[in-house]
Amino acid sequence: MNLDHVFVCGQPALDFAATLRARRSLRFEMFATPERLDAWYVESGIVDTVTRSRPADVDRARRVREAIYALVTARRRGEPFGDPALEVLNEAARTPTAAPQLTRAGRRTDATPEQALAAVARQAVELLSGPDVPLLKECGNPECTRVYVDRSRGMRRHWCGMESCGNKIKAAAYRARKRAAPDAVADVPAELGAR
């Protein structure tokens, strides 16, 4: 069931909000099918299994995702929350979540799509009302719109993840310096270059 979802934001609700990637340009939708939504719930660790989602569950998840993104963005910018986004998030958070069960193999949580979404919504409520709000940052990659919790020393993290954005930006900067290097040598006066 692994569909290569990425979990780099430091909090499940932020990773959920990041499933619509490159919001300012390409807008790549990770929840293109019910199966992809179900895979995210399991891969994120929110639940161990989820009953099969339907297209209506995907639509509901996208609405909650967009509400989370709008609320996180408002909080990060110090702006007031929008009432429509609050209503969508709170409605999802009011849905009962799945109860974890103890089995011989350990803890297990089996959920419906509604219960899994409720767990994500409650994670967002905890984040947006908790002590990590000052740690919210948007990725430094201009194409990326992921918001993450910066728990680095001195809050000096710039990227949502080195594997995704950090390495791409650093490699692009390196290539740009390499392209500019021959021009810099050509600009050196001949008498200095001969030394």
Per-residue pLDDT 10s for the chain (195 aa) are 444 678 999 999 999 999 998 888 888 899 999 999 999 999 999 999 999 999 999 999 999 999 999 999 999 999 999 999 999 999 999 999 999 999 999 999 999 999 999 999 999 999 999 999 999 999 988 888 899 999 998 888 887 876 668 566 555 555 666 777 665 545 555 555 544
Q: What is the pLDDT of residue 156?
A: 83
Q: What is the pLDDT of residue 83?
A: 97
Residue type, 130: G
Looking at domain 12-193, its CATH class is mainly alpha
Helix, strand, or coil (residue 99): coil
Instruction: Report the relative pairing of strands 110-111 and 49-50 from DSSP bridges.
Output: parallel
Closest alpha carbon to 68 in 48, 46, 45, 92: 92
Residue type, 36: R
Whether the CB-CB separation of 50 and 34 falls below 8 Å is answered with no
Beta bridge pairs of residue 171: none
User: pLDDT (tens digit, 9 = 90+) per residue, 106-144?
Assistant: 999 999 999 999 999 999 999 999 999 999 999 988 888
H/E segment holding residue 167: helix 167-186
Closest alpha carbon to 124 in 66, 190, 179: 66
Closest alpha carbon to 47 in 94, 6, 98: 98
φ and ψ at residue 49, rounded to 5 degrees: -140, 155
Q: What is the pLDDT of residue 195?
A: 46
Domains of the chain, residue spans: 12-193
